[in-house]
Structure 1
Amino acid sequence: MKIGITGTGSYIPSVIAKNEDFLNHEFLGTDGAKFGYENAVIIEKFQSITGIAERRYALPELNTSDLGHLAADKALQDAGIDKEDLDYIIFAHNFGDIEHGKIQGDTLPSLATRVKHLLRIKNPKCVAYDMIFGCPGWIEGVIQASAFIKSGLAKKCLVIGGETLSRVVDEHDRDSMIYSDGAGAAVIEANPDGGEILGHASLTFANGEAYYLFFDKTYNEGGCSNTRYIKMHGRKIYEFACTHVPKAMADCLEKSGVDIDEVKKIFIHQANEKMDEAIIKRFYRLHNKEVPENIMPMSIHKLGNSSVATIPTLYDLVRKGELEPHGVEKGDVVIFASVGAGMNINAFVYRV
């Protein structure tokens, strides 16, 4: 049974925040002290490492579930299926809906249920639930959807990845420049003439690595000590990802039975340009190969890191010819891979 992606959609928010918009921010170190150099230097170094020149933020009236609904609607239209035929809606996120200007995440009801409501799906047998798996959540949702279909529990599933990270950042933390908002979605179903998931891998490292990404108070001593923001141990994450993600990708590729020379594209979580380049280089080094030209599409330069939304958004853009010079054609073999909070890693090999 061929199980694959029959439709994709994405929603890229309209508000553009450029690096120069951060020139007047008061960035502080973990000890609350100011840095000994100007913001222009901080921003220049930031861009040279991450590759991010600008990012997208959602309009104040839109929440994560709204972004997910907009992406989902496009995916359903692209797949050409009746929304009432969906068996599962899986929404991968990390913080729920956070209204603009508020500090509390809202997951009651689940974001998947909210999307089902916004899509006006009447079928009660369409089960809606959320996936909390860090940045790899969308990939894990696809893996679960594939398992449901393979086991006969489902025929058609909708998997969404969405986030509004701009609402959970500490403005005094220079890492806040990394994060952005967005949503991507895909319809997964059995399709004899369509694409096929050839193999997958999922891993959780929690023996010492669990809190590489975490919630903590602002670096500003005068700020509210009870409010929490997304924080990370960047160096530890970098080293962890470069060590473990290439191995997971290689294991996944071996399980799929596909030779590395057949791989046309690698869709990797848009976390950090230099980190992603290092991961891909090490992956090919494991096979004694050089990295092929244009193997890794990147959207982080303009869209930033929107967590679970990066991969489905990236694939939608490439699939629809909106990220030159990249594209995919029927029969191409591609790899999806991600790493994030947990610490979780996953990947799947896919024939378009």
Structure 2
Amino acid sequence: MSKPSVYSIIVGSGSYLPEVIMRNEDFLHHTFYDPCKQKIAKTNEFIINKFHQITGISERRYVRPDQVASDIATEAAIEAIADAKIDAETLDCLIVAHNFGDVTLASGQSDCVPSLAARVKYKLQILNPQLIAYDLPFGCAGWLQAVIQANQFIQAGIYKRVLVIGAETISRVSDPHDRDSMIYADGAGAVILEAKESEFPIGILTQQAKSLAYPHALALRMEKSYNPDATTENLFLKMDGHKLYEQVITHVPQIMKECIEASPIEIADIDTFLIHQANLKMDEAILSRLFEAYQIKPAPLEKMPMSISFLGNSSVATIPTLYDLIAKGKFEGHQFKSGQHIMFAAVGAGINLNAVIYRIP
């Protein structure tokens, strides 16, 4: 009998969905400007309705004034540890994916010293000095990239148990005078990956990652407010939406296809597609183009659960929070069962993108 192989499996998950709900109508009294700092002539009703048609977002979540990213990351971690029924001291590694650090409401400035991972370890009161804690900034694809790194550590025999968290408070770096600010939200999600021997492939089967830094790195960047009368020198998240859309619907389906082709399964074997919740129309285009590459029309959009309508785009937190909701039976119409296959895919600032295929044990 051949020796069993080691695979990375998810043994617990957790999430934190902020308490403050911001609905589309809450933006009716905002004053929006274009990139040239000219006031947009269209009414806010028109802007918001068009926004909803494209993104599918009706509401999003914001953290309370007293919270920062490391706080909500800790909450998601606590839930994941409890779900896995483990002692936090037995963790070998803790990775926190984020892009802006802890941003207080008063300052609006990024604070990454010490790292968020160190802060989470501190807040969890973990004493184990062998538990290595570090951050991973990789755009919105950061959480999935942290999963990929955790899997590589486990495959190499370096670690046996890794806590991977995605946490972001984009509401703190969004320009209230930019229409794109309506996309962004806050949230945190976490999973615990553990080494598991098996004679049959389980857990993470294949993974792919790419960076398109040249020539597209600045499609997402930090700039001053579009408001010509703004008094703050703070920088806000800015996006070339059209340019980003073109790159995403070209390259994300491609990396997903490469991930499938490197795996022992076919596209028809994939039961659920968990794609970064950036934009409803864009995610639908990604899945449609992927299936078109296999001469399959229409794409089975029912296999792609979307949480963006009520959670917005919380960057690194969209996929782990969606995974946790389904895993806990809190997402109507979707559930995970043993033997099913999940495809994860994400894209974000950089431009960085990745994909993972996972077989549920």
TM bucket (normalised to shorter chain) is over 0.9
Q: Report the counterpart of residue 69 of structure 2 in structure 1.
A: 64
Aligned-partner Cα distance in 2 for 1:218–1:2: 47
Q: Report the counterpart of residue 328 of structure 2 in structure 1.
A: 320
Q: Report the counterpart of residue 239 of structure 2 in structure 1.
A: 232
Alignment: residue pair count? 352
Instruction: Give the match's secondary structure for 2:105.
Output: coil
Equivalence map 1:119-130=2 (5 Å): 119-130=124-135
- Whether 1:48 aligns to 2:53 is yes
Q: Letter of the aligned partner of 1:298 in structure 2? A: M
- Whether 1:5 aligns to 2:10 is yes
Aligned-partner Cα distance in 1 for 2:202–2:94: 20
Q: Letter of the aligned partner of 2:22 in structure 1? A: A
Q: Report the counterpart of residue 151 of structure 2 in structure 1.
A: 146
Equivalence map 1:28-47=2 (5 Å): 28-47=33-52
Q: Report the counterpart of residue 193 of structure 2 in structure 1.
A: 188
Asked if structure 2 preserves the Cα contact closer than 8 Å seen for 1:218 and 1:224, the reply is no
Q: Which 10-residue stretch deviates more, 287-296 or 76-85?
A: 287-296
- Whether 1:333 aligns to 2:341 is yes
Aligned-partner Cα distance in 1 for 2:202–2:230: 51
Aligned-partner Cα distance in 2 for 1:161–1:134: 11
- Whether 1:351 aligns to 2:359 is yes
- Whether 1:296 aligns to 2:304 is yes
Per the TM alignment, residue 192 of structure 1 is displaced from its structure 2 partner at its CA by: 3.8
Per the TM alignment, residue 195 of structure 1 is displaced from its structure 2 partner at its CA by: 4.6
Asked if structure 2 preserves the Cα contact closer than 8 Å seen for 1:101 and 1:167, the reply is no
Instruction: Give the match's secondary structure for 2:64.
Output: coil
C-alpha RMSD of matched pairs (Å): 1.1
Instruction: Give the match's secondary structure for 2:273.
Output: strand
Aligned-partner Cα distance in 2 for 1:332–1:101: 46
Aligned-partner Cα distance in 2 for 1:321–1:103: 36
- Whether 1:204 aligns to 2:208 is no
Q: Which 10-residue stretch deviates more, 23-32 or 224-233?
A: 224-233
Per the TM alignment, residue 4 of structure 1 is displaced from its structure 2 partner at its CA by: 1.3
Q: Which 10-residue stretch deviates more, 219-228 or 5-14?
A: 219-228
- Whether 1:78 aligns to 2:83 is yes
Aligned-partner Cα distance in 1 for 2:270–2:16: 27
Per-residue Cα deviation, 1:288-315 (whole angstroms, up to 9, x for no partner): 1131252100000000000000000000
Equivalence map 1:279-294=2 (5 Å): 279-290=286-297, 291-294=299-302
> Is there any run of 5+ residues in structure 2 with no aligned partner, and where?
1-5
Asked if structure 2 preserves the Cα contact closer than 8 Å seen for 1:197 and 1:351, the reply is yes
Aligned-partner Cα distance in 2 for 1:224–1:188: 46
Per the TM alignment, residue 317 of structure 1 is displaced from its structure 2 partner at its CA by: 0.5
Aligned-partner Cα distance in 1 for 2:108–2:65: 14
Q: Report the counterpart of residue 243 of structure 1 in structure 2.
A: 250
Percent sequence identity is 50
Per the TM alignment, residue 225 of structure 1 is displaced from its structure 2 partner at its CA by: 6.0
Q: Report the counterpart of residue 271 of structure 1 in structure 2.
A: 278
Per-residue Cα deviation, 1:99-120 (whole angstroms, up to 9, x for no partner): 1121211111100000001111
Per-residue Cα deviation, 1:207-264 (whole angstroms, up to 9, x for no partner): 1101000000111111136321000000011110000000000000111121111100
Pick aligned residue for 1:97 from 99, 102, 114: 102
Q: Letter of the aligned partner of 1:24 in structure 2? A: H
TM-score normalised by structure 1 residue count: 0.98
Asked if structure 1 preserves the Cα contact closer than 8 Å seen for 2:260 and 2:267, the reply is yes
Per-residue Cα deviation, 1:103-139 (whole angstroms, up to 9, x for no partner): 2111111000000011110000000000010000000
Per the TM alignment, residue 2 of structure 1 is displaced from its structure 2 partner at its CA by: 2.0
> Is there any run of 5+ residues in structure 1 with no aligned partner, and where?
none
Instruction: Give the match's secondary structure for 1:258.
Output: coil
Q: Which 10-residue stretch deviates more, 306-315 or 26-35?
A: 26-35
Aligned-partner Cα distance in 1 for 2:25–2:50: 13
Aligned-partner Cα distance in 2 for 1:227–1:185: 30
Q: Letter of the aligned partner of 2:89 in structure 1? A: E
Q: Report the counterpart of residue 106 of structure 1 in structure 2.
A: 111
Instruction: Give the match's secondary structure for 2:213.
Output: coil
The runs of at least 4 aligned residues of structure 1 exceeding 6 Å deviation read none
Aligned-partner Cα distance in 1 for 2:103–2:40: 30
Aligned-partner Cα distance in 1 for 2:142–2:246: 21
Q: Letter of the aligned partner of 2:344 in structure 1? A: F
